[in-house]
């Protein structure tokens, strides 16, 4: 007898068959029909020839550019950025395959129609917050998990569209097109959504931890947050269960970034202040204001890349302060761009 699709996926990716905690809230969501645009195989679905897909997969190292960026800690994080042809293919995989599958409701990052503001809003008004970070999140996701995730998704597509067919080689090809150097690359457009699919069972178990003590749970990629309405709640007691659950799935909690936040200080989740209302930390918009002031005062210029980066920060501020965004964009428009 065939296993239920969710149970089958859980077994394939080596997930536990019994939840450590069974108290959980049932959330009923309307299922969306899969849209395959009349395609009968993954190549038609992605709008790419099989030969071109195989060529990219066999020479994948030629389609990435790797470079370091400095983290706030001063350490370097390596970004593996796909080049245009591969990036287009990955975006098609994202839109036409990955986005057709719902992640767990606790996943609030890189989900269509759900933003960082929506995730932070769930914690608004709570009086104690636990923020934990997963060490090397994308690099810790295995090829086996990626293979299992794509196998699960393609099986689901064939269940609802009998004319759609796939082979083991097609699954392997999708894995090669979305991984690099045996890991999920940080920099590929497919990586966050693919991670959400892989982590659905992980999210269920962390949600069960939250439900047991009436906590709110969200995960934005590698940033995990729990909160409680009672500031006296001993939220640190769930750190060990979290650590064990993460370890079961090959993930490691970053103790250096584990924080407990309470109302007497700024409580910030994924860059959003949640003390009394959703807002951007003052230092963020004040830094942008000072930067724009100096650029205009001293008639300095920006490259297109620098301008786009600054605009991205302004757009982020605008989610919470639209009038300030308009003011900042007006100032940005006065700054000369250089090649």
Please compute the mean of the pLDDT values over residues 298-317 and round it to a whole number.
Answer: 96
Whether pLDDT at 96 is above 90: yes
Q: Is residue 74 very low, low, confident or very high in pLDDT (cuts 50, 70, 90)?
A: confident
d(CA 295, CA 277): 31
Instruction: Judge contact between 8 and 2, C-beta under 8 A.
Output: yes
Residue 337 DSSP label: E
pLDDT, tens digit, 9 for 90 and up, residues 136-150: 999 999 999 999 999
pLDDT, residue 34, reads 85
Q: Is residue 32 very low, low, confident or very high in pLDDT (cuts 50, 70, 90)?
A: low
d(CA 146, CA 180): 12
Which of the two residues, 2 and 160, has the higher pLDDT score?
A: 160
Burial degree of 225 (CB within 10 A; 0-12, 13-18, 19+): buried
Rounded to 10 degrees, the C-alpha dihedral 91/155/183/270 comes to 60
Q: Is residue 339 very low, low, confident or very high in pLDDT (cuts 50, 70, 90)?
A: confident
Helices and strands, number each (H, E), in the chain: 13, 10
Any idea what the Cα angle at residue 318 is, between residues 309 and 81, rounded to 5°? 30
pTM recorded for the entire structure: 0.86
pLDDT, residue 30, reads 54
E strand or H helix that includes residue 279: none
Terminal-to-terminal C-alpha distance of the chain = 64
Block residue for tokens 């990219």:
56
Whether pLDDT at 23 is above 70: no
Please compute the mean of the pLDDT values over residues 297-309 and round it to a whole number.
Answer: 95
Whether pLDDT at 8 is above 90: no
Q: How far is CA 185 from the centre of its chain?
A: 12
Q: In this predicted structure, which of 7-11, 67-71, 203-207, 258-262 has the lowest mean pLDDT?
A: 7-11
d(CA 231, CA 225): 15
d(CA 297, CA 287): 15
Whether pLDDT at 2 is above 50: no
Which of the two residues, 30 and 308, has the higher pLDDT score?
A: 308
d(CA 111, CA 134): 19
Any idea what the Cα angle at residue 159 is, between residues 106 and 4, rounded to 5°? 55
Which residues are CB-contacts of 27 (< 8 A; sequence separation ≥ 6)?
A: 105
Instruction: Judge contact between 221 and 110, C-beta under 8 A.
Output: yes
Nearest to 105, CA basis, from 36, 24, 184, 186: 24
Whether pLDDT at 337 is above 60: yes
110: region left, alpha or beta (phi > 0 left; psi from -120 to 50 alpha): left
């Amino acid at each position: 007898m065939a296993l239920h699709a969710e149970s089958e996926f859980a077994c394939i990716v080596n997930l536990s068959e019994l939840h450590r905690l069974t108290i959980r809230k049932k959330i009923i969501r309307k299922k969306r029909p899969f849209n395959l645009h009349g395609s009968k195989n993954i190549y038609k679905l992605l709008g790419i020839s099989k030969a071109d897909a195989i060529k990219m997969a066999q020479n994948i190292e030629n389609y990435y550019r790797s470079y370091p960026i400095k983290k706030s800690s001063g350490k370097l994080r390596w970004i593996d950025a796909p080049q245009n042809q591969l990036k287009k293919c990955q975006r098609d995989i994202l839109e036409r395959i990955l986005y057709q599958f719902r992640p767990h409701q606790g996943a609030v990052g890189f989900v269509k129609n759900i933003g960082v503001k929506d995730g932070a809003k769930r914690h608004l008004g709570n009086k104690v917050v636990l923020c934990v970070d997963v060490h090397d999140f994308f690099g810790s996701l295995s090829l086996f998990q990626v293979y299992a995730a794509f196998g699960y998704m393609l099986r689901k597509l064939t269940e609802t569209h009998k004319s759609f067919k796939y082979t083991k080689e097609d699954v392997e090809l999708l894995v090669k097109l979305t991984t690099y150097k045996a890991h999920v690359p940080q920099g590929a457009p497919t990586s966050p959504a693919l991670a959400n699919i892989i982590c659905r069972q992980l999210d269920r178990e962390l949600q069960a931890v939250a439900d047991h003590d009436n906590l709110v749970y969200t995960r934005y990629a590698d940033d995990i947050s729990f909160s409680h309405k009672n500031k006296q709640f001993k939220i640190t007691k769930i750190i060990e269960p979290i650590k064990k659950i993460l370890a079961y799935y090959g993930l490691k909690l970053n103790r250096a970034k584990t924080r407990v936040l309470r109302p007497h200080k700024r409580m910030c989740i994924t860059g959003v202040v949640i003390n009394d209302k959703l807002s951007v930390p003052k230092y963020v918009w004040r830094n942008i204001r000072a930067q724009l002031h100096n650029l205009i005062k001293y008639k300095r210029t920006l490259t297109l890349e620098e301008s786009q980066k600054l605009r991205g920060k302004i757009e982020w501020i605008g989610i919470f302060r639209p009038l300030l965004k308009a003011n900042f964009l007006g100032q940005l428009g006065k700054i000369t761009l250089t090649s």
